[in-house]
Structure 1
Amino acid sequence: MARHASPLQSLLVDDRFDGDVYPNEPMSRHTTYRIGGPARFFVRANSIGALCSLVDVCADGNVPWVVVGRGSNVLVADEGFGGVAIALGRDFRTSRFEDGRFMVGAGATLSSVVQDAFRRNLGGFEFAVGTPGTVGGALRMNAGSRDEWIGERVVTVTTYRPGRGLLRRRGSELSWGYRESSFSPDEVILECELSAEAADPFKVRDKMEENLARRQQTQPLSLPTCGSVFKNPDGASVGKLVEELGLKGTCVGGARVSDVHGNFIVNAGAATAADVRALMEHVRRCVAATFGIDLVPEVRMVGFGADAPRAAAADAPVHGAHGAVGEHHG
C-alpha cells in the first residue's frame, strides 16, 4: 500500500474487506438506462460489516457515495460519478418466510418476493408484479400504484446511518407518500419485514396477470428506460399531459419520449445522460408553459450538480416525430 493512500483506498485493498471492488467502473453496466460514465469506485458490499465500514469511511472523508441497487431509477452523468457507487451483495439478497411475514434483505429483488408470495398462496404484492429493482429501492421510493404501495406492507425496517449506527423501526413510525418515504438521504436500508395474508390463489394469479398485461401494454419494456421520469402531480397524469402536448416521439440525440407512454424517456440508441436531461427539461418547460404545472423528477440524478433536475444542454437540438420542434406553448 502506498504511503499516502487514503482511508478509503486502504479499506478497499484490505484482504479482510468483504466486498468486490471495481475502480473506474462504467455505470452504464449497472443502470437499466445503459447510460453513465465511470464511478471512481463501484463496490458490491457483501456483508453488513463491510457496508458499514465503507459508508463510515466515505462519510468521515467527505467522499460522495450512493447506493444504486439495480440502477432502475437512476440517471448517471456522462462524466461519471466522482465517489463510490454501492450495490448490496450476498448477505443482503436473502429472503425467508416466517410467522406470516417475509424477512427480506434490501438487495433482494422485489420481483422475487412477489413470486414467493404467489407460490405460498399469499396476497398483498400483486401490485408489484413486473416491478424492477431491489426491495431497498422500492421502500425508499415507496413503489406502487395510486391505490397500493409497498409501505403498507412494512412491519419493521432496519437501516444504517453513518454517525447514528443501526436503527430498527416499525413501518408505522415512518412516513409513506406518493413515490417518497421519510428515510434520511444518508440512511441505508438493510432489511425489512413485510406482511402478507392468505388469499385465493386463483384471484392472486388473475390480479397479477391483469397487472402484468397492463404494464406490458402501457410501458415501453423493449427499450432501456429508468421507469417513470416524473412524479404524477395531484389529480393529473404526466403521461396524459405529455400526450395532449403532442410530445410523444420527441427526441434529443438518442433519447426519445416513448410512443407508448409519455412519462417514459427511452434510450433509443446510444443516448447520453445529457440527451436525457435536455429532453426532460424540454418536457418540463412545455408542461409548465401550457398547464402551469412544475413537474418533479422521479429519477435520481447521480454525478450531476445540485441543479441537475433543472439543467439542460443549451445547444441540444430537440426533434419531434416529424422534424425539429421549438418551445411548446400550447
Structure 2
Amino acid sequence: MGLYNAYLALSGAIDADISRDERMSHRTSYRIGGPAAMLAQVHTISALTRTIDVLTAQGVDWVVVGKGSNLLVADEGFDGCVIVLGRDFSHVEASSEGATVCAGAAVPLSKVVTTAAKACLTGLEFACGIPGTLGGAISMDAGTRREWIGQRVESLVVYRPGTGLMRRMGSEVEWGYRWCSLGPSDIVLEATLALAPGEREKIDGLMEVRFSQRRSTQPMGKPSCGSVFRNPVGPKGAARLVEDCGLKGYAHGGAQVSTTHANFIVNNGNATAADVLAVMRTMHDRVREATGVDLQPEVKFLGRTS
C-alpha cells in the first residue's frame, strides 16, 4: 500500500511527471531491465524534496538515475521509485570572463563539454565521448586514468534528505578513482566547473583526438554500459587481464565480452541482466584464478541483480 499511497499523493500534486511500471530498458544504455514500480521525473527542487519526503514516509525505496549509462537493472525490475531530474536541472551556461561552466545535474556531459568548447574554455576535452549526465559523472568522478571531472569542480549544489540544500566547494570533497566522498543519499543538483581560456582550434583538435581514440578502442555499435570492472592497482588494467584469460568474444545468451575492448560487455540484441551477470562472473572468476586479482564492478546494479 505504501507505493500506491505515494503514487496517489504525488500524482498531479507536484511539478513532476509520475508514472507506474516504467520500462527501464528504455532508460539505460544497456537496453536491459524490467519495470520500475514508479518513476518520478521532478522538474523543481520543491518537487524533488516533496517526492522524497512522501516516499520516505510510505517506506518506498528510491534512487536517482540519470541517463542510465552505467546501470544494470534486474530483469525483475525495481520495486521502488526511480527519480529523474527534469527541467530546472537542465540549464548550462559558460562564463568566458570567469572561465567557468555552470550546469544542472541533468545536463548531458557531452553538452557541458561542447558548451565549454564554444566559449573557448579548455579543461574538459578528456570527457569527450563519455556518456551520461553531469550529475552522474560527478557522483562517480568519471574520466580517464589521468584526468577526471573532480579535478574541475569548483563548487556543487547538493540536496541531502533530512538536511536540505548545501553548497560544497570542490576542495571539500575527496575525489578518487571512480569515487568521491559525497554521501550515499547526497543528490548533486548543480555544478560549477573551473576551466581555463583556450584557443577554439586547439580545443576542437583535442576533442577530436579523444573521440577518435574512444571510437577506435571501444565498441560503439552495440548497447553497453561502458567498463564493467574498475581498473585494479597494478600494471595491467581490467581489459588486459580479461583478454589474457582468452575471454574476448566469450558469450552467454545475448551478452558478450566485446571483441574490441575486453572490459566491455555488449548486448547483442536479446541480452538479459542475468546474461550480463553470468558473463561478469566468468570474467571475474577466470581473472582471479589466473592472477589472484579480485576485480570490482564499476557498473551499478538496481533491483535484485545486486
Instruction: Please give the TM-score of this superposition, normalised by the length of structure 1.
Output: 0.89
String of CA shifts for 1:35-58, please: whole Å, max 9, x gaps: 000000111111111111111222
The offset of 1:131, in angstroms, is 1.0
Output aligned runs, 1:279-298, within 5 Å.
Answer: 279-298=279-298
Q: Secondary structure at the match of 1:270?
A: coil
Q: Secondary structure at the match of 2:301?
A: strand
- 2:76 maps to 79
Q: Compare 57-66 and 233-242 and name the one that shifted more.
A: 57-66
Structure 1 unaligned segments of length 5 or more: list them.
Answer: 309-330
After TM superposition, the runs of 4+ consecutive aligned structure 1 residues lying more than 3 A away are 4-7
The offset of 1:174, in angstroms, is 0.5
Conserved 8 A contact 1:11-1:54: no
Determine which of 8, 11, 15 is the counterpart of 2:9: 11
Q: Secondary structure at the match of 2:261?
A: coil
Conserved 8 A contact 1:11-1:17: no
Measure, in 2, the Cα distance between the counterparts of 1:290 and 1:53: 51
- AA aligned opposite 1:167: M
Q: CA RMSD in A?
A: 1.4
- 2:51 maps to 54
Output aligned runs, 1:1-330, within 5 Å.
Answer: 7-13=5-11, 15-98=12-95, 99-235=98-234, 236-304=236-304, 308=306
The offset of 1:22, in angstroms, is 1.6
- AA aligned opposite 1:128: A
Conserved 8 A contact 2:7-2:18: no
Measure, in 2, the Cα distance between the counterparts of 1:170 and 1:28: 36
Q: Secondary structure at the match of 1:21?
A: strand
Distance 1:6 1:253, change over 3 A: closer
The offset of 1:83, in angstroms, is 0.3
The offset of 1:5, in angstroms, is 8.2
Q: Compare 263-272 and 296-305 and name the one that shifted more.
A: 296-305
Q: Secondary structure at the match of 2:66?
A: coil
- AA aligned opposite 1:262: A
- AA aligned opposite 1:30: R
String of CA shifts for 1:260-297, please: whole Å, max 9, x gaps: 00000000121000000111011100011111011110
Measure, in 2, the Cα distance between the counterparts of 1:45 and 1:241: 42
- AA aligned opposite 2:35: P
Distance 1:137 1:304, change over 3 A: same
The offset of 1:9, in angstroms, is 2.1
Measure, in 1, the Cα distance between the counterparts of 2:59 and 2:248: 42
Measure, in 1, the Cα distance between the counterparts of 2:284 and 2:264: 13
Q: Secondary structure at the match of 2:50?
A: helix
Measure, in 1, the Cα distance between the counterparts of 2:227 and 2:190: 25
Q: How many positions carry a matched residue from both structures?
A: 303
- AA aligned opposite 1:282: T
Q: Secondary structure at the match of 2:53?
A: helix
String of CA shifts for 1:286-315, please: whole Å, max 9, x gaps: 01111101111000000026xx3xxxxxxx
Measure, in 2, the Cα distance between the counterparts of 1:59 and 1:300: 22
Q: Secondary structure at the match of 2:231?
A: coil
- 1:318 maps to none
- AA aligned opposite 1:259: T
Measure, in 1, the Cα distance between the counterparts of 2:189 and 2:207: 27
**Identity, % of aligned pairs?**
47
Conserved 8 A contact 2:29-2:225: yes
The offset of 1:185, in angstroms, is 1.3
Measure, in 2, the Cα distance between the counterparts of 1:96 and 1:208: 20
Measure, in 2, the Cα distance between the counterparts of 1:5 and 1:256: 36
Q: Compare 15-24 and 267-276 and name the one that shifted more.
A: 15-24
The offset of 1:12, in angstroms, is 2.1
Measure, in 2, the Cα distance between the counterparts of 1:5 and 1:73: 26
Conserved 8 A contact 2:32-2:72: yes
- 1:321 maps to none
